[in-house]
Amino acid sequence: MHLYNAWLPPPVAAQTAGERDSFSRIIATVNSSFNRDDPESVYSTLRYISVLDLRI
């Protein structure tokens, strides 16, 4: 558990543990959508901006 989450009640703190995994899945999805050899693939990642904005 991150130090900033130490003050949370145990049930809430347990739910925050899944946040890291969830964020990792989003990043993996964005990375799989982006292809360095294809400049057009940048546009396929635009749909994730709002999701990432909410997470960060």
Tell me how far apart the alpha carbons of residues 24 and 29 are, in angstroms, rounded to a whole number.
9
1 HSE (CA, 13 A, CB side)? 14
Residue 1 in this model has a pLDDT that exceeds 70: no
Tell me how far apart the alpha carbons of residues 49 and 53 are, in angstroms, rounded to a whole number.
6
Mind listing the pLDDT tens digit for each residue in 2-55?
Answer: 677 778 888 888 888 788 888 888 888 888 888 888 888 788 887 777 877 777
Q: What is the pLDDT of residue 2?
A: 62
Burial-class residue 18 by CB neighbours within 10 Å (0-12, 13-18, 19+). exposed
Q: How many helices (H) and strands (E) does the chain have?
A: 2, 0
Q: Shortest CA distance to 41 belongs to which of 26, 55, 29?
A: 29
